[in-house]
Chains A and B, each alone.
Chain A
Amino acid sequence: MDNRSFDQSPMQSDELPLELQAAARSYAAQPVPRPSSADTAQLMHYLLAEAAFQAQDTHFERTNHLWHIPVLARWRVYLLGPWFWIAGVLLLLAGILLARSITVSDLITLLILLLPLTAVLGLTHALRSPAAGLRAIEASCPVNSAQTSVSLGLVILAFDVLLGLVATLGFTLAHWAPFWNLLLAWLAPLLLLTAISLPIALLRNVRLAALVGGLPWLLLGLLALVEQNGQNITRLFFSLPQDTLSLSYHLATILLSLLLLIVLFTSAPKWQRFCAF
């Protein structure tokens, strides 16, 4: 490039006042470096080598990244601190303990209401805008922050599923509800609300995710609790699935949500440029 030649380009100054046209002409007449054909060939050679490396990396990412989930999420889980997880358990316990005097049916409603809410609130807290230091750590990682955030979301989901399983086991041992029916009753909204709020938290912001994922569910749940004996549509969401139709749509919701979450996770490497943070 040191022996580059300089060329001059034409200008576009028709709309300018007369007194500025001379300045525009001087500017446009500025000699600029012009690459030789050898420079362009060298650049092309470099780009093709880069493209080959890129293709190798993509292949590696595609074949390995499912195994990265625990590795990616480990340090983010650690940074959340123990109180995050304790708060999740406490929220669920507090809801159930506060409702000691209520009927078993309402206790089940409360469990179905609280488990998805815990997941949505946990997600929005964990995915709120990270501090500058955290961003710097993420930038130094071999994977992007969308991947780590999605992985963290899945870890929180797994934690809430575990909580739900423990609670369901308790209910089953106390002969309050059949295991599989209760499992389906909370698992379907838990997965669906997570699948809805996780991309919103990543692409827009966590407040909107909490609003979309949590608020309607909370209002529906409260309505279901208030109208204990009514045949309100809300009872449909907060009671145990008994008939085939009810079981089918719970299963369909679970499958659809799982599909959404899988798509979200597998496409996470490409999401970085669209992320809100």
Chain B
Amino acid sequence: MFTDEDLFRAWQHGDAGALETLVERYHAPLLAHLYRVLADPHLAEDLVQETFIRLIRDAQSYRYPRPFRPWLYAIAHHLACNYHTSAYARRVELRAEMPAMQAREPDPAEWFERWERHHNLLKALAHLSIEQREVLSLRFGQELSIQETAAILSIPPGTVKSRTFTALRLLRSSLEEYASDTEGRQGGQHHG
């Protein structure tokens, strides 16, 4: 199996198949990452496309064997930050879409509960800064190491650790708050 770096070098030499393999490898992870950071699936899809376009435009600046994945995610990071700066005045719009129900999904009540958990998580994530959401997504969504995360975000590894802890503490307190709200509401409904 070819490494990302080999594939990108092949693409630099005009091998479209190599690019196709890279796109297949990274389309889903990048979409997931940008969705986690921006909380908008449509915007995430647009930025994934833009990330790959930038990758193609800057292809000649790649020097083998520079690690490919941090470079790709650094492009996505810059695009997300640019978007966030441009839309800074607007608050992050929550779009807790109902995921399409699959044939193997459990019963509607359980499915709704899952959706509500997701909705609470999105509400809790809205309290985090884009920097904190990025760190969480790279560390726990993409499962990157502290060093890789630091390289992508251009920050020291110590900052990655402290930002992760702060973000998780904030997330935990918001999730606890929303969970108690939900329980209170459900308790009220059952009582009524």
Contact = CB atoms under 8 A, between A and B. Distances in A.
A243 interface: no
B163 interface: no
Contacts, number: 108
A98 interface: no
A20 B165 contact: yes
A270 B61 CA distance: 8
Contacts of B125: 27
A10 B56 contact: no
Instruction: Select the residue from A32, A40, A46, A54 with max chain B CB neighbours within 10 A.
Output: A32
Given A1-B45, A16-B168, A23-B171, A34 B32 contact: yes
Given A23-B168, A31-B118, A34-B28, A12 B143 contact: yes
B113 interface: no
Nearest to B29: A9
B23 A43 contact: yes
A51 interface: yes
Contacts of A227: none
A1 B140 CA distance: 24
Interface in B1-43: 16, 19-20, 23-24, 27-28, 31-32, 35-36, 41-42
A4 B24 CA distance: 16
Contact of A50 (B48, B53, B102, B168): B53
Interface residues of A, number: 37
Nearest to A17: B165
A34 B49 CA distance: 14
Contacts of B44: 33
Interface of B: 16, 19-20, 23-24, 27-28, 31-32, 35-36, 41-42, 44-45, 48-49, 52-53, 56-58, 60-61, 99-100, 102, 114, 117-118, 121, 125, 136, 139-141, 143, 165, 168-169, 171-172, 175
17 contacts: A4-B41, A4-B100, A19-B172, A20-B168, A23-B168, A27-B125, A27-B141, A30-B121, A32-B36, A33-B31, A33-B45, A39-B27, A39-B45, A43-B48, A47-B19, A48-B19, A50-B56
